[in-house]
Structure 1
Amino acid sequence: MEKLREMEIFVAIIDQGSFTGAAEKVGMSAGAVSRAINSLESRLGTRLLARTTRSVRSTDAGVSYLEACRKVLDTITDAEATIAADRLNPVGTLTISAPVLFGQRYVAPLVNAFALRYPDVRVNAVYVDRTTRLLEEGVDIAIRVGHLGNSSTFAIPLGFVQRRTYAAPAYLAEHGEPLHPRDLNNHYCVSFTGVSLPLEWVFYEAGSRLPVRLQPRMIVDLGAAAVLAAVDGVGIIQLLSYQAAPEVLAGKLKPVLSSFEPESIPVNLLHVERRSSSGKIRAFVEFVTGPLRENAHLQGMDTTAVRTSR
Structure 2
Amino acid sequence: MDKLREMEVFVAVVDRGSFTGASDKLAMSTAAVSRAVNSLESRLGTPLLARTTRTIRPTDAGTAYLEACRKVLDTITDAEANIAADQLNPVGTLTVSAPVLFGQRYIAPLVNAFALRYPDVSLNAVYADRTARLLEEGVDIAIRIGHLGDSSTFAVPLGFVRRRTYAAPSYLAAHGEPLHPRDLTQHQCVSFTGVSPPLEWVFNENGARLPVRLQPRMIVDLGPAAILAAVDGVGITQFLSYQAAPELIEGRLQAVLTAFEPESIPVSLLHVERRSTSGKIRAFVDFVTETLRNNAHLQGVDATATRTSR
Query: Once the 2 structures are TM-superposed, how far is the Cα of residue 228 of structure 1 from its aligned partner?
Result: 1.0
Contact 1:81 1:278 in 2 (8 A): no
The corresponding residue for 2:132 is 132
1:239 aligns with 2:243: no
Give the alignment of 1:150-189 within 5 angstroms: 150-189=150-189
Partner residue, 1:4: none
Q: Quote the residue 1:107 is aligned against.
A: 107
Q: Deviations over 1:221-250 (max 9, x none)?
A: 111111111111111000000000011011
Distance 2:95 2:84 in 1: 20
Percent sequence identity over aligned pairs:
82
**CA offsets, 1:118-140, max 9 Å, x none?**
01000000000000000000000
Distance 1:234 1:122, change over 3 A: same
Deviations 1:203-238 (A, max 9, x none): 011111110000001111111111111111111000
Q: What one-letter code is carried by the residue in structure 2 that aligns with 1:223?
A: G
* Alpha carbons of structure 1 residues 268 and 81: separation in structure 2 relative to 1, 3 Å: farther
Q: Which amino acid in the other structure matches residue 243 of structure 1?
A: Q
In the superposition, the TM-score normalised over structure 1's length comes to: 0.72
Q: Give the Cα–Cα distance (whole angstroms) in 2 for the partners of residues 80 and 190 of structure 1.
A: 56
Q: After superposition, what is the alpha-carbon deviation per residue over 1:242-274, rounded to whole angstroms, capped at 9, x for unaligned? A: 000011011110000000000000000000035
Query: 1:184-199 residue pairs with structure 2 within 5 A?
Result: 184-199=184-199
What SS does the aligned partner of 1:229 have? helix
> Secondary structure of the equivalent of 1:86?
helix
Q: Deviations over 1:20-63 (max 9, x none)?
A: xxxxxxxxxxxxxxxxxxxxxxxxxxxxxxxxxxxxxxxxxxxx
**Which has the larger Rg?**
2
Report the count of equivalent residues. 232
Task: Call closer, same or farther: CA 1:243–1:81 in 2, change over 3 Å.
Answer: farther
Does structure 1 retain, via aligned residues, the 8 Å contact 2:97–2:132?
yes
The AA in structure 2 aligned to 1:121 is: V
SS in 2 for 1:195: coil
Gaps of 5+ in 1: 1-78
Quickly say closer, same or farther: Cα 1:177–1:152, change in 2 above 3 A. Answer: same
**Distance in 1, Cα, partners of 2:208 & 2:80:** 54
CA distance in 2, matches of 1:166, 1:248: 9
Give, in angstroms, the shift of residue 286 of structure 1: 0.1
Whole-angstrom distance in 1 between the partners of 2:196 and 2:276: 34
Deviations 1:64-108 (A, max 9, x none): xxxxxxxxxxxxxxx699448333310000000000000000011
**TM-score w.r.t. length of structure 2:** 0.72
**Structure 2 residue identity aligned to 1:155:** A
Query: Alpha-carbon deviation of 1:158?
Result: 0.1
Residue segments in structure 2 that go unaligned for 5+ positions in a row: 1-78
Once residues 81 and 188 of structure 1 are traced to their aligned partners in structure 2, the CA distance between those partners, rounded to angstroms, is 64
Q: How does 1:18-97 map to 2 (within 5 A)?
A: 82-83=82-83, 85-97=85-97
Aligned residue for 1:16? none
Q: Which amino acid aligns with 1:164?
A: R
Counterpart secondary structure, 1:87: helix
In the alignment, what sits opposite 1:66? Answer: none
User: Is 2:247 aligned against 1:266?
Assistant: no
**2:204–2:260: 8 Å Cα contact kept in structure 1?**
yes
RMSD: 1.6
Aligned to 1:20: none
Contact preservation (8 Å) 2:154, 2:274: no
What does residue range 292-307 of structure 1 map to in structure 2 within 5 Å? 292-307=292-307
